[in-house]
A and B are shown apart, each in its own frame.
Chain A
């Protein structure tokens, strides 16, 4: 009897305990969300630089620095929209994060890839959709949180720039870097477009519907229902597999603009990639089969399970009201990330600035249906 109890406690105890701590976050408890907000605000207030991210690639270091600021800003915006009493503080924190993301030092990774600066290129034929698409979502959310946002002009010019390029694109997608096209980065801009329309009353539904049709027709694997990670600039032929990290992040972004498409991707992830046991859940990076190796997008891939896919799927799960998946995915993230409360500031001990910022945005993702109604 005693041995059985010990085994049950050892096997199911950790998953149950860590999963239970996801409850207040799933329910949108303000104090719990604010602890994460303070953890992320700390990184933004600190003078971070590319040197704080040791990927070994200047481009990836720059992407992670930019990602820390922009995902942090998005997280603050999401909490403010769920809890209006946080709006004023969120507006200030978002402003600091966006100001940091707009510095020439942070834009350097994108400038190095294109040879031209992303902000200077607004209105040209160069899309810069990674930098401008993600930034645009943070800017649009800042407008929603603070109607007097100082970024209104910038947000409108980026939206016009990317919407125009998408409308004219033969593939229905625009480039992240010269010759590199990632559907998930385009999904970030489509998410921004959804927020933009909600704030301004403008109507980009035709473009959003076209994006949905292009994804369904060309960029979602007929076999698995997952999103191709990367496609060719000319013709849009897939050049990488349909993968969990890209699909999960796109599911989260698209919840802002196209809940139906987002739901379709989430169902595919649930069916093809989701694994659970002992109270823990995780997403595979590749559908069962030959698969592939991990890279900078996937993060470490252990036994086929992807760190990024699992983390991004938390946001997708909250967006689609999937409490069980949210709870079990969070349990896994907490097991390996080790959330640590230091003086009311929650940080993932093994997340670093980028991990904290991404988790903050995912843990506070808005419900897809609620956003459309609002």
Chain B
């Protein structure tokens, strides 16, 4: 249980960081420097290099975070399906036990 709480906290923190970072990039129009740099239009210097580096780091963050999120989602799906299967099996066993005739009870 504790492990799932930690995983949940990490996922939520990652999402919040991503949203804040993305909004900052939109607000600062940092993409323009990266696009033009990548297009070979010019070399960058000073502050623009920092902005372009920030944008590259953001891409790197997404490239790491998205597969991790995918793996986490798959793990949750596996866990839920296992729990559901166990629940169904348990319910079947209970129902079978209730319907079964009492065998070997000869005391009467």
Contacts and interface: CB of A to CB of B under 8 A. Distances in A.
B58 A5 contact: no
Interface residues of A, number: 45
A219 to B, nearest CB: 24
Contact of B41 (A7, A8, A57, A351): A57
A342 B26 contact: yes
A354 B32 CA distance: 8
Main DSSP-derived SS at the B contact region? helix
Interface in B21-69: 21-23, 25-26, 29-36, 38-42, 44, 48, 55, 58-59, 62-63, 66-69
A53 B36 contact: yes
A55 interface: yes
A28 interface: no
B42 A10 contact: no
A53 B69 CA distance: 34
Given A5-B75, A13-B74, A349 B39 contact: no
A300 B23 contact: no
Given A52-B32, A54-B32, A350-B55, A14 B70 contact: yes
Interface residues of B, number: 38
Contacts of A60: 36, 41
Contact of B48 (A54, A348, A351, A352): A54
A202 interface: no
B73 interface: yes
A296 B42 CA distance: 10
Contacts of B71: 6-7, 9-10, 13
A289 interface: no
B78 interface: yes
A10 B36 contact: no
B7 to A, nearest CB: 13
A56 B41 contact: yes
Given A56-B36, A294-B39, A299-B39, A351 B70 contact: no
Contact of A9 (B19, B25, B39, B70): B70
A358 B32 CA distance: 13
Contact of B23 (A14, A54, A335, A340): A340
A353 interface: yes
A349 B41 contact: no
Interface string A120-132: 0000000000000
B38 A55 contact: no
B39 A298 contact: yes
A53 B42 contact: no
In this complex, which of A17, A296, A350 has the most chain B Cβ atoms within 10 angstroms of its Cβ? A350
B66 A14 contact: yes
Contacts of B25: 338, 340, 349-350
A300 B75 contact: no
B37 to A, nearest CB: 8
Contacts of B74: 5-6, 8-10, 13
B31 A13 contact: no
Contacts of B33: 54
A352 B51 CA distance: 13
Contacts of A373: none
A336 B34 CA distance: 12
B72 interface: yes
Contact of B32 (A294, A307, A352): A352
Contact of A350 (B31, B44, B70): B31
Given A8-B74, A13-B71, A14-B67, A296 B22 contact: no
Interface in A313-366: 335-336, 338, 340, 342, 347-355
B36 A338 contact: no
Interface of A: 1-2, 5-14, 16-18, 52-57, 60, 64, 293-296, 298-300, 307, 335-336, 338, 340, 342, 347-355
7 contacts: A2-B75, A13-B71, A13-B74, A14-B69, A57-B42, A340-B25, A342-B26
